[in-house]
Structure 1
Amino acid sequence: MSLTATSAKMKKDESFLGRLGGTLARKKKSKEVSDLHEEGKNAINAPMLPTGVDIHPEDTLLEENTERIMLDPTSRENLKFKDLLKVLIDWINSELEEDRIIVKDLEEDCYDGQVLQKLFEKLSGRKLNVAEVTQSEIGQKQKLQTVLEAVNELLRPHGWTIEWSVDSIHSKNLVAILYLLVALAMHFQAPIRLPEHVSVQVVVVKKREGILQTAVVTKQLTSTTEMMMGRFERDAFDTLLDHAPDKLNVVKTSLITFVNKHLNKLNLEVTELESQFADGVYLILLMGLLEDYFVPLYNFYLTPESFEQKVHNVSFAFELMQDGGLKKPKARPEDVVNLNLKSTLRVLYNLFTNYKNSE
């Protein structure tokens, strides 16, 4: 190829590359402008959106004057929030073990109403008139409607604020699902310990006049154990502690005298009701002495270290009480382990009234 031809080809290539570069530059510039416009629109429409929250395209496809609620990702990583999820999942699986239902994810496993139906039926002892399996969205929402109507009918007279709906549950709104499960656990006095003061932040996306508006709202899922337990029926010990605290020491002295009368047979002595029964060991040994049998050591933890081991011991003591013909204690094992005085008094007073004449 001649020098002249080579030079001409180089110029032609340079000209082509120049045009290509100009086209790419214009496209890049156009994309930057588009991105900047989108960023500006988002900044206007979502001024309160916390860092790290992703609004997916489907979240923006809202009808006018409707809203969508999303959990802030930082709340999902909160350890107390994770603890609440685990406690509720373990509780559901324990309740529905006979139905061979295993829940792993509350959003994915509760939205269609099947698990909620079985759980409500188990807790309430009431059979709901719903189809067993529903695959269609209409069928799922009909089942949810029936289940939630039954739940609301049960809870609303007791002062519960209804924080859930068919649409929120079916759209896998985790906060709504948690509100519902916490309410059921508290109402039916589930034998679990709900973590205290669990709050989450949610992003509320609303569409007004075609524009998306966002706000961050804090939702409180649990309060203190005392306040949560306060929904339950008050008894003589509530009255005693609230209105006659001067008589409390008299009651405690009587109970200490009663338990030591029997525990002294094993060279054991109680001086503090709240702390010395919290691990369940003395309760188990006391039941053996009152019913005149030896409790094999492999049935409980003689020197429990973890919270779970202590709860196991107290729960086992409660089983022994029921085997002896006593009613199921009103207290929860978790409350006894947590040094809740009223719960411990209730358990011991129940033993006192049934065995006060035992030698």
Structure 2
Amino acid sequence: MAGLLCGTKRRKQVNSLHEEGKHAINTPMLPSGTDLHPEDTLLEENAERTMLDPTSREDPKFKDLQRVLIDWINNELEEERIIVKDLEEDLYDGQVLQKLFEKLSGQKLNVAEVTQSEIGQKQKLQTVLEAMNELLQHHGSPREWHVDSIHSKNLVAITSLLVSLAVHFRAAIRLPEHVSVQVVVVKKREGILQTSHVRKELTTTTELMMGRFERDAFDTLLDHAPDKLNIVKKSLITFVNKHLNKLNLEVTELESQFADGVYLVLLMGLLEGYFVPLYNFYLTPENFEQKVHNVSFAFELMQDGGLKKPKARPEDVVNLNLKSTLRVLYNLFTSYKNMD
């Protein structure tokens, strides 16, 4: 009996050593600090799996992108009383993605309302992603997401999908520019796991993402002559204050002080020589929609005055996009610079 127990113990030790050796052979190139789930090491031959590098997870720009996307989703689904706090934990089962797609597209998907089982969740995800991909196919960029990656809470896949949706539906948000993350790619070749690092670009510039490829002097100015930017801003500040001072108003910061649209509306009234009734705009706007209303109204006044429709979107100005604000003000400057 003792011999049998010893033999059993010995076999367990051998098996344990065998597993340790197998793990050591299979993971010779894994970077330290990389969290692997069991399924990451149980790959089929020639299969691969990707995961976010821990250093990128803590990147401030990546965190900012997640925050913007979470705020956007919560704003869109406010009437559904859905509150997203974490993209990985709240979007993997397809429920929030379904509601978001239906709100943005106006389409109703034929899926089960609540699914608890993994099979049910994946079936819902499949339907939701197929509908999304049909809309997004015209963008031409390779998709970083699929049912398994979303359901396994792959943050890069989830974020990539949300960015594509925001761009497609021209969401009234300001996506942080030039956000990229480092991804660890694990592949199985001849029974051995091999890893590599790949840089994934999640966002580019606002103009490129929103489909406005036409470059102008302000693109050149910011890209190649940022030192001259302050000169332009000072000239524009002098111009707007020349007129706003008549109402005892003064601008010191272009990017923020025109974001609610109030000064834009008042400035147009001064430039065109009329009083703008206060019921036409919000003198003290309290939310994003009221600010967008003000800027949109100012754009209408500009067109009524014979100016071309601004290239910028009202949402861009409200979201403190400096180039958009500069374009709008420069348009006014060139048209009214000789006015007293």
Q: Same fold (TM over 0.5)?
A: yes
**Which among 108, 133, 141 is matched to residue 128 of structure 1?**
108
Q: Which residue of 1 aligns with 2:305?
A: none
Number of residue equivalences = 311
The corresponding residue for 2:96 is 115
Instruction: Specify the SS of the correspondent of 2:141.
Output: coil
1:254-304, CA deviations, whole angstroms, 9 ceiling, x for partnerless residues? 98898567524214466x9xx52433378413425632329887646xxxx
What is the alpha-carbon distance in structure 2 between the residues aligned to residue 170 and residue 54 of structure 1?
Answer: 17
Taking a change above 3 Å as real, the CA distance of residues 64 and 220 of structure 1, as seen in their structure-2 partners, is closer
Which stretch of structure 1 is more off in the superposition, 94-103 or 325-334? 325-334
Q: How does 1:190-269 map to 2 (within 5 A)?
A: 190-209=171-190, 211-224=191-204, 227-234=205-212, 238=215, 262-268=243-249
Structure 1 residues 318 and 147, CA gap change in structure 2 (3 angstroms): same
Identity of counterpart residues, as a percentage?
59
Residue matched to 1:319: 293
Show the 5 A alignment for 1:1-359: 31=13, 38-124=19-105, 126-135=106-115, 136-209=117-190, 211-224=191-204, 227-234=205-212, 238=215, 262-268=243-249, 275-280=253-258, 283-288=261-266, 290=269, 291-293=276-278, 299=285, 316-322=290-296, 326=300, 330-333=313-316, 337-338=320-321, 340-341=322-323, 343-348=324-329
- Cα displacement (A) at 1:252: 10
Q: CA deviation at 1:175?
A: 1.3
Instruction: Quote the Cα distance in structure 1 between the aligned partners of 2:174 and 2:250.
Output: 29
Change (3 A) 1:196 1:134: same
**Which residue identity lines up with residue 129 of structure 1 in the other structure?**
L
Give the 3 Å change call, closer, same or farther, for CA 194–204 of structure 1 in structure 2: same
Cα distance in structure 2, aligned partners of 1:282 and 1:56: 47
Distance (whole Å) between structure 1 residues aligned to residue 260 and residue 185 of structure 2: 51
Deviation at 1:51, TM superposition (A): 0.7
Q: CA separation of 1:292/1:178 partners in 2, compared to 1, >3 Å: closer, same or farther? A: same
Please give the root-mean-square deviation of Cα atoms over the aligned residues, in Å.
4.5
Unaligned ranges ≥5, structure 2: 221-231, 270-275, 301-308
Distance in 2 between residues matched to 1:351 and 1:143, nearest whole Å: 51
The answer on whether the counterparts of 1:45 and 1:213 sit within 8 Å (CA) in structure 2 is: yes
Give the structure-1-normalised TM-score.
Answer: 0.67
Structure-2 separation of matches of 1:351 and 1:118: 42
Letter in 2 for 1:156: Q
For structure 1, the 5+ residue unaligned runs are: 1-18, 244-250, 301-311
Q: Secondary structure at the match of 2:257?
A: coil
Q: Closer, same or farther in 2 for the Cα pair 1:39/1:228, shift >3 Å?
A: farther
Q: Say which one has the larger Rg.
A: 1
Structure 1 residues 86 and 176: CA distance shift in structure 2, 3 A = same
- 1:3 aligned residue: none
Residue 176 of structure 1, CA deviation: 0.8
Q: CA deviation at 1:68?
A: 2.8
CA displacement at 1:36 relative to structure 2: 6.0
CA distance in 1, matches of 2:264, 2:297: 14
